[in-house]
Structure 1
Amino acid sequence: MKKVTHVDSTFSKGFTKALLPLAIAATLIPLSAQAANTSNNWVATRTGAFLQAAAPSANTATQSEAQSTATKTGAFTLGASAATGVVNALVTPLELSQPLHITVVLKNRNQDQLDTFLRELAQPGSPNYRQFLKPSQFKARFAPTDAQVQAVVEHLRANGFSNIQVSANNKLVSAEGNANNAQSGFHASLKRFNYRGKQVYANDSAALIPASLGSTVDAVLGLQNAVVPHKTIHRVLPGSAVAREAHATTNAAASQVAHQPTDFATIYDAASLPAASNTTVGIITWGDMTQTISDLNTFTQNAGLPTVNTSTVAGGQGTLADDGDPAEWDLDSQDIIGTSGGVQQLIFYAAVNGDSQDSGLTDATLTAAYNKAVTDNVAKVINVSLGLDEASANSDGSLQADDSVFQQAVAQGQIFSVSSGDAGVYQWSTSPQGAPGYIGTNDGSGVQTTINLSQYSVSSPASSPYVVAVGGTTLSTKNTTTWSGETVWNEGTAFADLDSNGNPVDDAVRIWATGGGVSQYETAPSWQTTALGSSVTKRVLPDVAFDAASATGALIVIDGQAGQQVGGTSLASPIFVGGWARVESAHNNSLSLPTSGFYQTFPTTTTSIHDVTSGNNGYGGKGYNAKVGWDDTTGFGSLDFGKLSASYGQ
């Protein structure tokens, strides 16, 4: 049973009050009606058609015939990924009364100036070096204006949306409505269909806006709930059945054992620094955090650590529903605290449900949670252990929307750390139950691959140039807490779709391996191209990597039960966050997003890193291979936080 917590709006109440006179706009003729027959008055946003007709077969003569066939047979793809399909499913128009929670994303102003400012923040000698902005300063220089926001609000009201809320930085305008309002306000046609065992919806036409708003609106989120971000945790369950051809490598000179969260501070030399008691840390989550905080208190009591000062902040107006599985947030919080030794405050920025029917996490509510952490500007380091295929994020508009939020974070001196994913190079491929990394089936005689093993993808938002992307390793230690070596985390194949006891429910097989590779959509930041060569034109990831293997992972408290063994890049990112929080505390929270510095320093100065040179993150000889220096599997490798902190001076 879901536990539901109702939360008040976390958006700018002052601005909302200022918009009250706009209620009269509801009596106006909707702008969409005014321009319904004049397509030139409407322009595209970054939100494209998420539900698309499958490509025509060899004997299909025209695109119109393909569309007709697709409508009859349910042959569709989702999020521009041919591998994510809807086959033999009934696709029907979404009921016009279907409730929707949408978020209109507005563009930054003065983007060229903002790009220059962000570069100079990390350049010693620049007048802007480490001159972080306050939210009010960012808003004055780069955020959408009040007049731009008011025009968007007026458009929403005129098309029947209500409960309109504006974020404190003017970037997000959220509203409640239904499919009829979306059709009227954005010319968006929405469809209902069954996907992965549940009823979902998605737009099969792009979201359009009046031309008058073209320079203001970037994307419209919340028009689909079929493909949503997933957790990046690998939990060891008693009944889990691993298929053949495991790829994990053992270092015979040391042992590969599970660790207490406090062990990682010693392994990665964070314990040589004082605890991060001067630094506030955030975690992006979904749902009610009551059980997670209870488990955290049990963990700290068992570990002899001080009780953590925690708070839960809703990422928007809505409800926080408990899905009954706190494991992901337990992993994040306990490993951050264990590695950091304790923080000034730990804030759970919890995404609310996608609509009044508690449909769960959506792109709209997750982006709002990111933005809430940024507009609050309290947490210095923020963990994200969520991700989805980059093509889907680009298709629904959330990729660029999240980039815009992360840009403000960088300008304010906040650091987002994002796990790179657990599906190796096959983030795009999903099992019948939605597990990423699907490669085929196991009929009892071995793994039969059914996908193109040469097709690779990466996870969003790890692919953003404005975050630290953290990959995974398999860790070897001596005496549990002495670092001895690391290889690329790749546990090979396992059954993909499991019940609550870890038993397979079908014959689908996936890989468990660190995400990494080349973005299809994000331009490489200049510091990556300079460090890695002119051929690097797209963002590559990860930047660094830490322990993620289930065999060498963390023993945490879940639902009050200690000793639960977990891994995944959802472990790797919290290890970085905990270690980096100590570094920030040691330097009075004065350091900026460290990635540009990593790429300037680590190619020639390796004293602060453990280079990972063996293993790969694919299957059957595919994927990327580790090598000396930076690579697409573990980036520069793991960090020695004590030495890294010393390199920044005082």
Structure 2
Amino acid sequence: MFVVGLAAPALLASATTAAAISAAGISTAASAERAAVAGAHPAWATASADRGALDPAATLDGIRVFLAGKDPAGLESYARAVSDPRSPSFRHFLNPRQIADRFGPTPAQTEQVTEWLASAGLTVTGTDPHFVAARGTVSAAQRAFGTELHDFADHEGKHRAPVGAVTAPASLAKAVLGVTGLDDPAKQRVEPKVKADPDPYGPPATIYRGLPCSDYWGQKAATDRPKVDGKTVAWTPCGYGPQELRAAYGVDKTGLTGKGVTVGVLDPYGSPTIEADLAAYNTKHNFQQFRPGQLKQYVETGGATTCYGGPPGGLYIEEALDIEAVHAMAPDADVAYIGAKDCESTSLIDAVNRAVDGHLADLINNSWGIGSEPPSDAVRQGFEQAFQRAAVSGIGIYYSSGDCGYEDPETPCGKGDESTRKQTNYPPESPWVTAVGGTTMGLDQHGRKVAEVGWGNVRSNLTEDGTGWTPAPKDAYPSGYTGGSGGGTSIVFRQPAYQAGVVPDKQALERPDGSTSAYRMRTVPDISADGDSSTGMLVGYTGRDKDGVARYHETKLGGTSLSSPLIVGIQALAQQAQGSAIGFANPQIYARYGTAAYQDVTDTPVSVARNDLTNPNDPDSAPLKRLYTAGFSGGPLAAFPGYDRLTGVGTPGAGYVATYRR
């Protein structure tokens, strides 16, 4: 996912009148002359971490003032109406030109914002329909935005951030959606769900899985390992192929292939070997090849050459997983790969805007997020406006819900994500996207489901004497929790109308810390599919072996990075069945709740034996003898009858797609 700072518990930060600020390099202004706008004073910028003012002469690049447009309230209202089956405006989508004319910024607003920045001493470096970009000295930025900029320390070093509220002239405040670039971009990056050790020269390092493994659920018994609850466990599945996954969701018998639908896959960067990898993958699995022109690539270049300390190659596995999973479900759907120029959150906003402005796809999969800590108000505002424009355009936006449950900092993955508390992820918690959670799914030799529980794994290790597992699965949370479907109750967004009457009040009102909210809040996920790495999909990509040679390789991968493109592929079939755009899908997903369209997912403990390699990039490294257990209901999230914050409404049943036929 992708991670950032804390926000107030409201749908969006409201603009309030700011007090005048008088400081070195900042002009004094009466409070009536300035108004606060969505900025970036993050939770980590505390007084105790303050290390003093920045050099006033230092240069800041990448300042952005996002533009609110002429009618932001009208945009949100129309996005709601066009997505609501009960509204007379349902499916009355607008094209990009109509959206720009009706809701975009006026030339006068852009000009006024440009003049304001220039008058403060900043250099405007560019404009587009969504923002005005600028650069300049710290002194000029402080003068423009009415707040000092300081360094704040954390375990990674020093990071800049505004000391107080970010403000704009009161006469312009309504034209400003938010301001980014005043805080350190390193704290506003997104991160992909699938990570691999990066190769500084191109491809990612090859990932290997330990043996033995089972061709299907329960095939090979781990007779040399201790029993669990008196039963012999089986070796983990080797990984499912496209035919097994199509059979699992019953789409192989629908006669639908996604023809006439374009599915977008949006990630940072773009793999130079993706076309060859897809051809090799489909050949190996005897699956339908991409026809000429079926894969279209829109990759923006010129961004940062590193992402979380590694080069772009580390993200190519994510791209391969996303496209192969979509193609498995909807082999005739066109695929538009939309590559952001880097991992910065503003670059991802740009990529979403490019996809929506050009209507590059009908549905867009996003297997990345801003991680555990919510982003700045300004970043969130930029995404929310893009999501609402997508809804008005008839484009569905889908996000992986996360791979660490409730981001509990007491768990290893929560600690690794630097989470400060139990909390949901953004963008999945946005009420304008479909958040896709994960399950642990066991398939027999015919591709039929024989086991499915909520994905939330705890890991146990073989004891030294080989007679048992430690810790016992029932005692393994939180220390042994290795990951699971992202979910929970948002502290930022109120409950959207489509969740009313479906999400039980106990879940909608219970905050992550266990306290009770005064309002029903947005809960995630919305829907789920297979996501456990133990029951994951075989993915083909070009990887660098330990001898340094790049070769095509397949490995088993999971996470909600798998769940989301599987659901998006199924939704492409649903759109084909419907014969028209689904658009923002949540109102229709929840309208089918309680019917045979879904398979409800409930928890029952299931375990698999695994030999994890000490070094996943070396197939000859020593194995770690382990047990993975899901469906144990030992953490703060669990799967039970009805809607739950681990699997949402459930998984698509064999008849799900048919419910969209006219």
Q: TM-score when scaled to structure 2? A: 0.73
Contact 1:265 1:579 in 2 (8 A): no
Describe the shift of the 1:544–1:225 C-alpha distance in structure 2 as closer, same or farther (beyond 3 A). same
1:21 aligns to what?
none
CA distance in 1, matches of 2:61, 2:460: 37
2:556 maps to which of 565, 568, 571: 565
Contact 2:34 2:169 in 1 (8 A): yes
Question: What is the CA distance between 1:482 and its match in structure 2?
Answer: 1.6
Equivalent AA in structure 2 for residue 408 of structure 1: R
2:94 aligns to what?
133
**Higher mean C-alpha deviation, range 152-161 or range 569-578:** 152-161
2:525 maps to which of 531, 536, 542: 542
2:432 maps to which of 466, 469, 478: 466
Contact 2:429 2:493 in 1 (8 A): yes
1:485 and 2:451 matched:
yes
1:205 maps to which of 164, 169, 175: 164
Describe the shift of the 1:509–1:203 C-alpha distance in structure 2 as closer, same or farther (beyond 3 A). farther
CA distance in 1, matches of 2:146, 2:243: 53
Equivalent AA in structure 2 for residue 324 of structure 1: G
1:583 aligns to what?
574
1:119 and 2:80 matched:
yes
Contact 2:25 2:142 in 1 (8 A): no
1:349 and 2:349 matched:
no
Question: What is the CA distance between 1:552 and its match in structure 2?
Answer: 0.8
Contact 1:52 1:204 in 2 (8 A): no
CA distance in 2, matches of 1:380, 1:338: 18
CA distance in 2, matches of 1:350, 1:201: 28
Equivalent AA in structure 2 for residue 382 of structure 1: I
2:501 maps to which of 530, 553, 559: 530
What SS does the aligned partner of 2:282 have?
helix
1:419-434 equivalence runs, <5 A: 419-426=400-407
What SS does the aligned partner of 2:442 have?
strand
Describe the shift of the 1:572–1:94 C-alpha distance in structure 2 as closer, same or farther (beyond 3 A). farther
1:260 aligns to what?
241
What SS does the aligned partner of 2:453 have?
strand
1:327 aligns to what?
317
1:285 and 2:285 matched:
no
Question: What is the CA distance between 1:172 and its match in structure 2?
Answer: 2.7
What SS does the aligned partner of 1:278 have?
coil
2:280 maps to which of 298, 304, 307: 298
2:250 aligns to what?
269
CA distance in 1, matches of 2:250, 2:631: 30
CA distance in 2, matches of 1:636, 1:130: 23
1:467-489, Cα deviation, whole Å (9 max, x unpaired): 11000110011116222231111
Equivalent AA in structure 2 for residue 337 of structure 1: H
1:171-195, Cα deviation, whole Å (9 max, x unpaired): 3333444544433322354445675
1:233-248 equivalence runs, <5 A: 233=194, 237-238=207-208
What SS does the aligned partner of 2:357 have?
helix
What SS does the aligned partner of 2:557 have?
strand
**Higher mean C-alpha deviation, range 275-284 or range 40-49:** 40-49
**Higher mean C-alpha deviation, range 292-301 or range 194-203:** 194-203
Question: What is the CA distance between 1:207 and its match in structure 2?
Answer: 2.3
1:375 maps to which of 349, 357, 362: 357
1:482-521, Cα deviation, whole Å (9 max, x unpaired): 22231111122599xxxxxxxxxxxx98631111010111
What SS does the aligned partner of 2:178 have?
strand
1:47 aligns to what?
39
2:651 maps to which of 635, 638, 644: 638
CA distance in 2, matches of 1:226, 1:134: 35
Equivalent AA in structure 1 for residue 328 of structure 2: G
Equivalent AA in structure 2 for residue 103 of structure 1: R
2:184 aligns to what?
224
CA distance in 2, matches of 1:595, 1:433: 28
CA distance in 2, matches of 1:254, 1:511: 18
CA distance in 1, matches of 2:458, 2:446: 24
Equivalent AA in structure 1 for residue 369 of structure 2: G
Describe the shift of the 1:582–1:625 C-alpha distance in structure 2 as closer, same or farther (beyond 3 A). same
CA distance in 2, matches of 1:159, 1:590: 46
1:287-335, Cα deviation, whole Å (9 max, x unpaired): 2432344433432343442236333334687567652211111211111
Question: What is the CA distance between 1:218 and its match in structure 2?
Answer: 1.9
Question: What is the CA distance between 1:264 and its match in structure 2?
Answer: 1.8
Describe the shift of the 1:347–1:204 C-alpha distance in structure 2 as closer, same or farther (beyond 3 A). farther
1:313 aligns to what?
298
Contact 1:557 1:563 in 2 (8 A): yes
Question: What is the CA distance between 1:600 and its match in structure 2?
Answer: 2.3
Describe the shift of the 1:481–1:621 C-alpha distance in structure 2 as closer, same or farther (beyond 3 A). closer
2:327 aligns to what?
337
CA distance in 2, matches of 1:553, 1:91: 48
Question: What is the CA distance between 1:108 and its match in structure 2?
Answer: 4.4
What SS does the aligned partner of 2:656 have?
helix
Equivalent AA in structure 2 for residue 644 of structure 1: Y
Question: What is the CA distance between 1:43 and its match in structure 2?
Answer: 1.8
Q: TM-score when scaled to structure 1? A: 0.74
Contact 1:494 1:512 in 2 (8 A): no
1:22 aligns to what?
none
1:214 aligns to what?
173
What SS does the aligned partner of 2:240 have?
coil
> In angstroms, what is the RMSD of aligned CA positions?
3.7
1:270-302, Cα deviation, whole Å (9 max, x unpaired): 222422231112122112432344433432343
Describe the shift of the 1:432–1:252 C-alpha distance in structure 2 as closer, same or farther (beyond 3 A). closer
CA distance in 2, matches of 1:481, 1:221: 48
Question: What is the CA distance between 1:155 and its match in structure 2?
Answer: 2.2
Equivalent AA in structure 1 for residue 165 of structure 2: A
Contact 2:604 2:632 in 1 (8 A): no
Equivalent AA in structure 2 for residue 49 of structure 1: H
Equivalent AA in structure 2 for residue 462 of structure 1: P
CA distance in 1, matches of 2:602, 2:590: 18
Specify every segment of 5 or more residues in structure 1 that has no aligned partner in the other structure, as ranges. Answer: 1-31, 55-66, 77-89, 241-246, 354-360, 439-450, 496-507
Describe the shift of the 1:615–1:632 C-alpha distance in structure 2 as closer, same or farther (beyond 3 A). farther
CA distance in 1, matches of 2:60, 2:459: 40
What SS does the aligned partner of 1:226 have?
helix
CA distance in 1, matches of 2:132, 2:332: 36
CA distance in 1, matches of 2:384, 2:330: 27
Contact 1:407 1:466 in 2 (8 A): yes
2:397 aligns to what?
416
1:436 aligns to what?
417
Question: What is the CA distance between 1:382 and its match in structure 2?
Answer: 0.4
What SS does the aligned partner of 2:564 have?
helix
1:502 aligns to what?
none
Contact 1:50 1:204 in 2 (8 A): no
2:464 aligns to what?
none
Contact 1:351 1:366 in 2 (8 A): yes
Identity of aligned residues (%): 25
Count of residue pairs the alignment pairs up: 543
1:358 aligns to what?
none
Equivalent AA in structure 1 for residue 587 of structure 2: S
Contact 2:341 2:347 in 1 (8 A): yes
2:143 aligns to what?
184
1:141-174, Cα deviation, whole Å (9 max, x unpaired): 222222112211222333444463333xx33333
Describe the shift of the 1:474–1:541 C-alpha distance in structure 2 as closer, same or farther (beyond 3 A). same
Specify every segment of 5 or more residues in structure 2 that has no aligned partner in the other structure, as ranges. Answer: 1-23, 197-205, 211-227, 462-478, 509-519, 543-550, 606-629
2:489 aligns to what?
518
1:24-61, Cα deviation, whole Å (9 max, x unpaired): xxxxxxxx98954445422212224126554xxxxxxx
Contact 1:410 1:593 in 2 (8 A): yes
1:252-282, Cα deviation, whole Å (9 max, x unpaired): 8998551124432221122224222311121
CA distance in 2, matches of 1:251, 1:548: 24
1:593-627, Cα deviation, whole Å (9 max, x unpaired): 22112222213x1x111111116999994312211
